[in-house]
Amino acid sequence: MEIKQIYTPGLAQLSYVVGGQNACFVIDPVRNIDQYIQIADSLHLPIAGIFETHLHADFVSGHLELAEKTGAPIYLAKNAKVHYPHQGLEHGEELMLDVFSVKLLNTPGHTPESSVFVFADTRRGPFSIAVFSGDTLFVGDVGRPDLFPDLKECLASSLYDSLRIIESLGDHLEVYPGHGAGSLCGKRLSNKLTSTIGIERMYNEPMKLHPKEVFIETLLKDMPVAPDHFSRCSAINRKGAAAVSSLPKIKPLSPAQFDKLAKEGHLIVDTRSFHHFASAHIENSYAISVKGNFPTFAGWILPPDKPILLVCSNENELTFAQNQLRNVGLDNIVGYLKSGIDAWIDDARHTAHYENITVHELKRQLEEEKILLVDTRNAEEYHAAHIQGAVSIPTHDMRTRYAELQDESRPIAFICSSGYRSLTALSLFLQHVKDKKIYNVLGAMPAWTAVNYPTTTGLS
């Protein structure tokens, strides 16, 4: 049994290729299906089956296109009620595929149709050795049960029972989860990307919570906000996404072509770093750097019904951006600015800019009450430690809460934990307010704490 784990940056998503004797199998593929075909080719094995642990909320799956390209059947829980050809499995149903005995177990909680796949390699013996746990069980955490707000208590109750099913499989089973740290499908996922049931029983805090009432109350407390695209991706995955190979190719655009489309209502998404965006950018751009959590914030804040134009630094950035946009169901990518912002500048077209500020200058201006600081991290981060006087407006909320800052007479500085969420929040603010002096804080909160400047906790 050879297991290849594929990590998708930004989504912190984990998919798998499992190689047997005469065939291999793919679990929870993203839309970049070529990578799975390449792995299968490297193993000299055909792809003979595709497994979906649930209807993913944070990304659009590539299972349908992979099935169309390889002829492999799709297996998932029967109660998922999807709208494409598949083999629906009942709880406890077992398949013999190549040298593997594969059993599906219904483990509702994260979603109603969540399931896990338990593998036994019959060449070694009849006993199960690995569980592909999807978003039911992570390393250090469990899947959030609040994606259906009206069902969250019921789903949390079901998740408690589902964890008992998983732990009954035996401490020796290896756990291969659907996400690692950075995903919003849980609260505190580990950076470690594999584990065992035994290790999780010892160290996974939600898994240790008893009785059920305590589990439900604790798990649902302080859950991070679910991004807007979660419900959209779930709906797409139930129907089955369009094949990426069938989508129109994105076009290189001259400054004149780009400008025309932008004026017609196309969104401009600038994927560069905050240093480059600060020095020169096209007005009304959404600044979502590929160096930050690009797919999550693209899916979260970009209007899904608008066509997209890209401004990138290079070809690699362009490829990454279009793949990640498609991973969150944003397929209407029309074109990109050929030769990047340099071409725009060389064509003598208008650019906007703003200034960066160091933490030393920020501290001085705060002490003199000459600046307003906006903390764009999430509420949990803000409450844990923030700069005295900072206003808490998480990045995604800037779409509407910009109005709270319109009457501010002082310059406004934006801060987060890296410079990239604050960059996105700053760009959202600039789409609505044009006449303010603004800054992005260089080094962000780590730089502030590195020089031992003071922070406070709770509400400022």
Neighbouring residues of 398: CB distance < 8 A, sequence distance ≥ 6: 376, 424, 425, 428, 429
The whole-angstrom separation of Cα 435 and Cα 453 is 30
Task: Quick: pLDDT tens for 217-252.
Answer: 999 998 888 898 998 999 999 999 999 999 999 999
The whole-angstrom separation of Cα 181 and Cα 407 is 38
* Average pLDDT rounded to a whole number, residues 251-278: 96
* Average pLDDT rounded to a whole number, residues 245-274: 96
Tokens of 227: 């991004």
Question: Are residues 117 and 106 in contact, defined by beta-carbon separation less than 8 angstroms?
Answer: no
Q: Of 85, 74, 69, whose CA–CA distance to 32 is shortest?
A: 69
Neighbouring residues of 164: CB distance < 8 A, sequence distance ≥ 6: none
Query: Residue 63 — pLDDT band, cuts 50, 70, 90?
Result: very high
Q: How many helices (H) and strands (E) does the chain have?
A: 16, 22
Domains and CATH numbers, the chain: 2-234 (3.60.15.10), 247-346 (3.40.250.10), 355-450 (3.40.250.10)
Q: How would you list the strands of the sheet with 24-27, edge to edge?
A: 2-8, 13-19, 24-27, 47-51, 74-77, 87-89
Question: In sequence order, what DSSP letters do the residues of 104-152 get, joined into one string?
Answer: EEE--SSSTT-EEEEEEETTT-SS--EEEEETTB-SS-B--S-SSGGGH
Tokens of 257: 């072509």
Question: In sequence order, what DSSP letters do the residues of 41-106 get, joined into one string?
Answer: HHHT--EEEEE--S--SSS---HHHHHHHH-PPEEEEGGG--SSS-EEE-TT-EEEETTEEEEEEE
Q: What is the pLDDT of residue 325?
A: 96
Q: Of 375, 360, 350, 367, whose CA–CA distance to 451 is shortest?
A: 360
Spacing of C-alpha 106 from chain mean position: 24
Burial class (CB in 10 A: 0-12, 13-18, 19+), 293: buried
Question: In sequence order, what DSSP letters do the residues of 193-244 get, joined into one string?
Answer: --EEHHHHHHH-TGGG--SHHHHHHHHHTTPPPPPTHHHHHHHHHHH-PPPG
Please report, as a single letter, which amino acid is at residue 168.
S
Residue with tokens 């055909």: 46
Task: Quick: pLDDT tens for 165-212.
Answer: 999 999 999 999 999 998 888 888 999 999 999 999 999 999 999 999
The whole-angstrom separation of Cα 41 and Cα 37 is 6
Task: Quick: pLDDT tens for 111-148.
Answer: 999 999 999 999 998 899 999 999 999 999 999 999 99
Q: What is the pLDDT of residue 56?
A: 95
User: For residue 395, is pLDDT > 90?
Assistant: yes
Q: What is the pLDDT of residue 454?
A: 95
Q: What is the pLDDT of residue 460?
A: 54
- In eight-state DSSP terms, residue 373 is E
Calculate ∠ Cα 294-225-322, nearest 5°. Answer: 20
User: For residue 157, is pLDDT > 70?
Assistant: yes
Question: Are residues 322 and 233 in contact, defined by beta-carbon separation less than 8 angstroms?
Answer: no
Question: Are residues 58 and 13 in contact, defined by beta-carbon separation less than 8 angstroms?
Answer: yes
Mean model confidence pLDDT for the chain: 95
The whole-angstrom separation of Cα 251 and Cα 97 is 43
The whole-angstrom separation of Cα 366 and Cα 368 is 5
Task: Quick: pLDDT tens for 84-99.
Answer: 999 999 999 999 999 9
What is the percent of the chain where pLDDT is above 70? Answer: 100
Query: Residue 448 — pLDDT band, cuts 50, 70, 90?
Result: very high
Residue with tokens 């030769």: 339
